[in-house]
C-alpha cells in the first residue's frame, strides 16, 4: 500500500450529514439544513476529485482496510474499500451528479414540508451508494446495495401521506427484494465455493478454475437477477415507473443517474465471472436488448412526462446490459456515465418544467413553454439531442459504441444490433415527442395556481439554484462523450481487462474496422434522425395525426398504453395468489384457527380456573396469613415426620 487515502471518509461524510440533519434537523432552519447537506456531500465530491488528481501516483487497485468485520474460521469480510479505475469513474459520477442534484433540490424542495428529512435521506443515499461503489468485497457492496434500496424506498415514499407514493415505495422495495434474493444466493454460492467475498480473491479463484461452467453460470445468472432488480430490467422493471411518485430530484439522482446503474456496475465489476460463462453473457445481452426495446415501445405512448423518462431510463439501462452482455463492459460504463449526465439533466429539466407549470406532469396539458422557460428549454434540448444520439452530444458516442460492439463483439450478433438500432429510432421518436409536446405548439393547460400565495403566479422560470445544475449538466451532456470510447476503454482496461478484448485487440485490422465503424455510425444517426423527423411530423406539424393513428391500431395502442398489462399479469400470477394464500391458509387457517385458537382456549381455561380459585384472594391480610401458617405447620409436620432428614 503506497499511501493512505482515507477512502472511508468518502462514504462517511454524507453519513455524518445525514445523521446531523436526521437527528437534529427539525430544529434547524432550511438554510442550515441545506448548508449541512451540501457541505458534506460537497466534501465527498472534493475528496473524489482530489483522489483522481492523485491518480498517477497511485498503484491501482488500491485497497484500504478500515476495520475487521466478520471473521469466521477461514472466511473473512472486512470493512475494506477498493479504489480502481472503475470505482473512480463511478465515484466521480455519483458524487458529482449527486452534488449537482443536491444543489438543485434546495430550490426544488424549498417549499416542501420535511425539508430536513429529505436531505437526511438524500445524504443517506449518498453514503450507501458510495459504500456500494467503493466496497472491496461483495458483502460490503451488498450493504450499500441494500442501503440504496432503503434510501430509495424512503425517498419514493417521501410524501408518505399520499397513498400512491406509499404503495410505490413498497412496490419498489418488494420487487428489489426479489432481485436481492438472487444476489444473496450468488453470494452464498461464492462463499461456499471460493471461501471468500473479496473481489480479488473471488476473481482469482474464478480465473484459476475455468472448467466449472455450471457453477459460474448459476452465479452469473443469480447476479443478473440481482442486477435486474436494482437496474429495472425485465422481468423486474415494474417498480421504476411507479417510483416516479418520489420528488423529481430523487428520480433524477436515484432512479436515473446513480442507483439504477448499480446493477450495471455490479455486472461490470463481476465481469470475470460473466466472461467465463457464455450462457450468462448471452442471457444478460438478451435481457438488455429486450428491455431496451420493450421499454422504448411503452415510452412512445406515455403521456406523463416523468413516466416517459422512466421508461426511457429502463430502455437505456437495457442498452447498458446489452453492452455488458456482449462483453463490452467499458462501453456499458461509458454509456452509464453519459446517461448519468443527460438523464439526470432530463429529469431535472422535467422537474423544472413541472415546477414551472405548477405541478402538472401530463404533457398533453403543456406545450409552448419554449419562450417562457428558455434556460430549461435549452438545457432540455441538449439532453434530448444527447439521448437521441445526435453527434456531437454525449449520448451519441456511448450509444454508438454499444451498437458497434453489439454487432462486432465475439459475443455479439446482428440481431442485437438491429433491435438496438430500432430502439434508438424509438428513443429518438419518443424523446422528441416529449420535446415537441412540451415546448412547442400552444399551451394546453390551465394557468398554474400552485404558487399563487408566493406572489409569482403564472408560468415562470425556476430559481437560479435550480438552473445552475441544469447548465452544468447540459455542458456535460454535450462534451461528456468527447473523451471517446477508445480512450475510455483504455483507461478502464486495467480493471475491465477482459480476456476477450485482449484476444481481439492484436488481431483487429484497424483500417477495416474504422470503415465499418463509420457505416454503423451513419446508420444509427440516421435512425435517430428518422425518429426526430417522425416526431416533428406527428407532434409539431400535424398534431391531430397521432390521435387518428391510435384509433386505427386501437388494440395495440391500448396494450402499449397499459404497459402490456405486465402489472396486471404480475398481480394475477404472483400478488393475488400470495395474498389469497396468506389470507386463507396462513391467516385464517394457521394463525387464527390453530395458533390463536390454542392460545385463546388455554387463556379461557386459565380464566375459568382462576375464576374459581380467585375467591381465595379475599384481599384480607389475615386470611393470607392463615394460609401461610397452615403451610408452615404442614412443613413442620413433614419435617418431624421425616425426622429432619
Partner 1 sequence: MFHLIIFSVFGLICIVGAVNLLVQRHPINSALSLVVVMGSLAVEYLLLGAEFVAAVQIIVYAGAVMVLFVFVIMLLNAGVEERTQGSRVALWFGVPGILVGGLLVSWVMLEQAGIQAVPVGALPGPPKTLAWLLFHEYLLPFEITSILVLIAIMGAVVLASRPESVQRSKKEA
Partner 2 sequence: MVPLSYYLVLSGILFACGVTGFLIKRNIISIFMSIELMLNGVNLSFVAFAAQWKALSGQVFVFFVMVVAAAEAAVGLAIIIAVYRTRETLNVDQVNLLKL
Binding site for partner 1 (CB under 8 A): 618, 620, 622-623, 625-630, 632-634, 636-637, 640
The number of residues making up the chain comes to: 645
From partner 2, partner 1, none, interface partner of 415 (C-beta below 5 to 8 A by class):
none
Binding flag, residue 619, partner 2 (CB under 8 A): yes
Cβ-based nearer residue to partner 2, 65 or 617: 617
Shortest Cβ 613–partner 1 spacing (Å): 14
Those residues with Cβ within 8 angstroms of residue 295's Cβ, 6 or more apart along the chain or in another chain: 237, 311, 312, 314, 315, 318
Cβ-based nearer residue to partner 2, 68 or 610: 610
* Rounded Cα–Cα distance for residues 223 and 229 (Å): 10
Q: Which residues of 440-476 are buried (b: 16+ CB within 10 A; e: fewer)?
A: bbeeebeebeebeeeeeeebebbeeebbebbbbbbeb
SS3 34: helix
Interface residue with partner 2, options 522, 537, 605, 617 (CB under 8 A): 617
Largest distance between two CA atoms of the chain? 115
Interface residue with partner 2, options 556, 625, 634, 635 (CB under 8 A): 625
Stretch that binds partner 2, among 47-55, 370-378, 380-388, 621-629 (CB under 8 A): 621-629
Shortest Cβ 625–partner 1 spacing (Å): 6
- The size of the interface with partner 2 (CB under 8 A), counted in residues, is 11
Cβ-based nearer residue to partner 2, 594 or 628: 628
In the block, residue with C-alpha cell 483522489: 51
Shortest Cβ 600–partner 2 spacing (Å): 23
Q: What is the CA radius of gyration of the chain?
A: 30
Cβ-based nearer residue to partner 1, 482 or 624: 624
Do the Cβ atoms of 194 and 205 come closer than 8 Å?
yes
Stretch that binds partner 2, among 40-48, 85-93, 140-148, 619-627 (CB under 8 A): 619-627
Between the alpha carbon of residue 321 and those of residues 149, 286, 371, 632, the distances in Å are 20, 9, 38, 83
Interface characters, 566-605, with partner 2 (x: CB under 8 A): ----------------------------------------
Stretch that binds partner 2, among 67-75, 290-298, 464-472, 616-624 (CB under 8 A): 616-624
Shortest Cβ 118–partner 2 spacing (Å): 55
SS3 79: strand
Sign of the C-alpha dihedral computed for residues 164, 169, 170 and 175 taken in this order: positive
Peptide bond connecting 430 to the previous residue in cis, omega within 30 degrees of 0: no
From partner 1, partner 2, none, interface partner of 634 (C-beta below 5 to 8 A by class):
partner 1
Beta bridge partners of 81: 64, 135
Q: Which of 314, 179, 170 shows the shortest CA–CA distance to 241?
A: 314
Stretch that binds partner 2, among 17-25, 81-89, 294-302, 625-633 (CB under 8 A): 625-633
Cβ-based nearer residue to partner 2, 572 or 636: 636
Shortest Cβ 639–partner 1 spacing (Å): 9
Cβ-based nearer residue to partner 2, 53 or 613: 613
Shortest Cβ 645–partner 1 spacing (Å): 13
Cβ-based nearer residue to partner 1, 502 or 625: 625
Stretch that binds partner 2, among 53-61, 148-156, 317-325, 611-619 (CB under 8 A): 611-619
Do the Cβ atoms of 97 and 133 come closer than 8 Å?
no
DSSP for 134-192 reads HBSBHHHHHHHHHHHHHHHHHHHTTSTTSHHHHHHHHHHHHHHHHHHHHHHHHHHHHHH
Do the Cβ atoms of 434 and 305 come closer than 8 Å?
yes
Cβ-based nearer residue to partner 2, 455 or 619: 619
Sign of the C-alpha dihedral computed for residues 341, 342, 346 and 347 taken in this order: negative
From partner 2, partner 1, none, interface partner of 110 (C-beta below 5 to 8 A by class):
none
From partner 2, partner 1, none, interface partner of 510 (C-beta below 5 to 8 A by class):
none
Binding flag, residue 612, partner 2 (CB under 8 A): no
Q: Which three cell numbers stand for residue 326?
A: 456482449
Stretch that binds partner 2, among 59-67, 419-427, 549-557, 614-622 (CB under 8 A): 614-622
Shortest Cβ 628–partner 2 spacing (Å): 9
Shortest Cβ 638–partner 1 spacing (Å): 10
Cβ-based nearer residue to partner 1, 579 or 634: 634
Interface residue with partner 2, options 192, 541, 548, 622 (CB under 8 A): 622
Interface residue with partner 2, options 56, 161, 612, 620 (CB under 8 A): 620
Q: Which of 397, 400, 402, 409 shows the shortest CA–CA distance to 484?
A: 397
Phi, psi for residue 83 in degrees, rounded to 5: -120, 120
Binding flag, residue 618, partner 2 (CB under 8 A): yes
* Rounded Cα–Cα distance for residues 107 and 102 (Å): 9
Binding flag, residue 613, partner 2 (CB under 8 A): no
Do the Cβ atoms of 520 and 409 come closer than 8 Å?
no
Contact residues toward partner 2 (CB under 8 A) are 614-615, 617-622, 625-626, 629
Amino acid at each position: 500500500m503506497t499511501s493512505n487515502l482515507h477512502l472511508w471518509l468518502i462514504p462517511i461524510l454524507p453519513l455524518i450529514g445525514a445523521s446531523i440533519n436526521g437527528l437534529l434537523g427539525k430544529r434547524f432552519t432550511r438554510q442550515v439544513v441545506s448548508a449541512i447537506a451540501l457541505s458534506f456531500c460537497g466534501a465527498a465530491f472534493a475528496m473524489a476529485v482530489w483522489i483522481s488528481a492523485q491518480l498517477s501516483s497511485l498503484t491501482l487497485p488500491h485497497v484500504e482496510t478500515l476495520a475487521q468485520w466478520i471473521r469466521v474460521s477461514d472466511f473473512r469480510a472486512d470493512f475494506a474499500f477498493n479504489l480502481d479505475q472503475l470505482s473512480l469513474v463511478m465515484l466521480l459520477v455519483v458524487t458529482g451528479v449527486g452534488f449537482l442534484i443536491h444543489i438543485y433540490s434546495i430550490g426544488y424542495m424549498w417549499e416542501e414540508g420535511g425539508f430536513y428529512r429529505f436531505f437526511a435521506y438524500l445524504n443517506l443515499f449518498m453514503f450507501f451508494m458510495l459504500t456500494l461503489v467503493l466496497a472491496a468485497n461483495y458483502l460490503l457492496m451488498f450493504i450499500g446495495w441494500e442501503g440504496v434500496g432503503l434510501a430509495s424506498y424512503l425517498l419514493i415514499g417521501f410524501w408518505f401521506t399520499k397513498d400512491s407514493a406509499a404503495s410505490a415505495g413498497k412496490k419498489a422495495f418488494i420487487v428489489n427484494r426479489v432481485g436481492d434474493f438472487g444476489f444473496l444466493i450468488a453470494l452464498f454460492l461464492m462463499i461456499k465455493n471460493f471461501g471468500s467475498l473479496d473481489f480479488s480473491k473471488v476473481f482469482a479463484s474464478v480465473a484459476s478454475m475455468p472448467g466449472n461452467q455450471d457453477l459460474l453460470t448459476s452465479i452469473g445468472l443469480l447476479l443478473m437477477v440481482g442486477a435486474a432488480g436494482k437496474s429495472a430490467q425485465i422481468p423486474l422493471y415494474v417498480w421504476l415507473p411507479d417510483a416516479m411518485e418520489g420528488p423529481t430530484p430523487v428520480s433524477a439522482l436515484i432512479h436515473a443517474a446513480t442507483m439504477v446503474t448499480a446493477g450495471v456496475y455490479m455486472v461490470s465489476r463481476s465481469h470475470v465471472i460473466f466472461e467465463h460463462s457464455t450462457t450468462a453473457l448471452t442471457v444478460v445481452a438478451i435481457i438488455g436488448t429486450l428491455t431496451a426495446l420493450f421499454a422504448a415501445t411503452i415510452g412512445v405512448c406515455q403521456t406523463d412526462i416523468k413516466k416517459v423518462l422512466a421508461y426511457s431510463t429502463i430502455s437505456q439501462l437495457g442498452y447498458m446490459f446489452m453492452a455488458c452482455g456482449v462483453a463490452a463492459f467499458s462501453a456499458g460504463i461509458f454509456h452509464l456515465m453519459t446517461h448519468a449526465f443527460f438523464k439526470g439533466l432530463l429529469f431535472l429539466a422535467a422537474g423544472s418544467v413541472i415546477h414551472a407549470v405548477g405541478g402538472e406532469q401530463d404533457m398533453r396539458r403543456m406545450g409552448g413553454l419554449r419562450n417562457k422557460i428558455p434556460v430549461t428549454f435549452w438545457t432540455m434540448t441538449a439532453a434530448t439531442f444527447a439521448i437521441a444520439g445526435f453527434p456531437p452530444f454525449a449520448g451519441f458516442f456511448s450509444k454508438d459504441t454499444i451498437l458497434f460492439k453489439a454487432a462486432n463483439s465475439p459475443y455479439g450478433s446482428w440481431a442485437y444490433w438491429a433491435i438496438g438500432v430500432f430502439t434508438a429510432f424509438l428513443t429518438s421518436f419518443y424523446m422528441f415527442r416529449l420535446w415537441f409536446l412540451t415546448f412547442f405548439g400552444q399551451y394546453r393547460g390551465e394557468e398554474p395556481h400552485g404558487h399563487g400565495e408566493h406572489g409569482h403566479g403564472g408560468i415562470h422560470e425556476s430559481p437560479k439554484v435550480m438552473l445552475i445544475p441544469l447548465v452544468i449538466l447540459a455542458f456535460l451532456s454535450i462534451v461528456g462523450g468527447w473523451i471517446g470510447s477508445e480512450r475510455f476503454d483504455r483507461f478502464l482496461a486495467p480493471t475491465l481487462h477482459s480476456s476477450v478484448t485482449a484476444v481481439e485487440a492484436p488481431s483487429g485490422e484497424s483500417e477495416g474496422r474504422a470503415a465499418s465503424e463509420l457505416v454503423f455510425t451513419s446508420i444509427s444517426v440516421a435512425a435517430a434522425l428518422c425518429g426526430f423527423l417522425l416526431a416533428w411530423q406527428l407532434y409539431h406539424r400535424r398534431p391531430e395525426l397521432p390521435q387518428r393513428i391510435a384509433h386505427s391500431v386501437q388494440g395495440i395502442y391500448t396494450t402499449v398504453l397499459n404497459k402490456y398489462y405486465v402489472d396486471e399479469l404480475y398481480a394475477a400470477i404472483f400478488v393475488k395468489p400470495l395474498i389469497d394464500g396468506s389470507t386463507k391458509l396462513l391467516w385464517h387457517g394457521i394463525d387464527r384457527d390453530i395458533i390463536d385458537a390454542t392460545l385463546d382456549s388455554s387463556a379461557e381455561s386459565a380464566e375459568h380456573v382462576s375464576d374459581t380459585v380467585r375467591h381465595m384472594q379475599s384481599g384480607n391480610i389475615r386470611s393470607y396469613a392463615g394460609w401461610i401458617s397452615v403451610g408452615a405447620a404442614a412443613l413442620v409436620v413433614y419435617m418431624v415426620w421425616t425426622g429432619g432428614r
